[in-house]
């Protein structure tokens, strides 16, 4: 089974999270900048003319499509590297993935998300 991890993390944790993922052999990923809020509904900031509310905070969304046998290890790496303990550390969503196709080679499924030297090759695994 292929899964997609969508991790919403702090902007200033991106480098730590990328390093942690590289360390365990996660190769393919993408990130983008998002804006939103969780259960606090944003933050209250102090300005010159009093306090004001910022309801949409910038976060990083990190997307990884991977084999489900690497899911727990990858989630653990993100939990450890994205953590500060303060409100706003983010959330991790996990989805099933229907199909992946590498355009150049037409490889599908596991083969399309395997990379030289990655987590699977290190484990000596074959789909």
Q: Which residues bind ligand ATP (CB under 6 A)?
A: 8, 34, 36-40, 57, 59, 87-91
Confirm if 10 and 88 have CB atoms less than 8 A apart.
yes
Instruction: List the single partner that 29 binds among Mg ion, ligand ATP, none, CB under 5 to 8 Å by kind.
Output: none
Can residue 58 be called a binding residue for Mg ion (CB under 5 A)? no
Give phi and psi for 17, each to the nearest 5: -70, -45
Instruction: List the single partner that 42 binds among ligand ATP, Mg ion, none, CB under 5 to 8 Å by kind.
Output: none
Question: Residue 39 or 106: which CB sits closer to ligand ATP?
Answer: 39
Can residue 87 be called a binding residue for Mg ion (CB under 5 A)? yes
Q: Closest residue to ligand ATP, Cβ-based? A: 38
Can residue 44 be called a binding residue for Mg ion (CB under 5 A)? no
Please give the span between the terminal C-alpha atoms of the chain, in angstroms, as a whole number.
Answer: 10
Cα 114 to the center of its chain, rounded Å: 17
Question: Residue 8 or 21: which CB sits closer to Mg ion?
Answer: 8
What 3-state DSSP class applies to 26? coil
What tokens were used for 91?
A: 């959330």
Can residue 38 be called a binding residue for Mg ion (CB under 5 A)? yes
Please give the full DSSP string across 28-50, using - where no structure is assigned.
--EEEEEEE--TT-SEEEEETTE
Can residue 40 be called a binding residue for Mg ion (CB under 5 A)? yes
What residues line the site for Mg ion (CB under 5 A)? 38, 40, 87-88
């Amino acid at each position: 089974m292929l899964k997609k991890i969508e991790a919403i993390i702090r902007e200033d944790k991106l480098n730590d999270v990328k390093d942690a993922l590289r360390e365990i052999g996660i190769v393919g990923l993408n990130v983008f900048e998002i804006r939103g809020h969780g259960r606090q509904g944003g933050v209250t900031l102090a300005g010159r003319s009093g306090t004001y509310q910022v309801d949409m905070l910038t976060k990083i969304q990190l997307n990884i499509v991977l084999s489900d046998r690497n899911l727990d290890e990858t989630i653990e790496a993100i939990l450890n590297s994205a953590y500060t303990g303060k409100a706003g550390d983010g959330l991790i969503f996990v989805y099933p993935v229907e199909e992946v196709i590498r355009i150049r080679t037409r490889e599908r499924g596991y083969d399309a998300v395997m990379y030289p030297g990655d987590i699977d090759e290190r484990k000596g695994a074959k789909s």
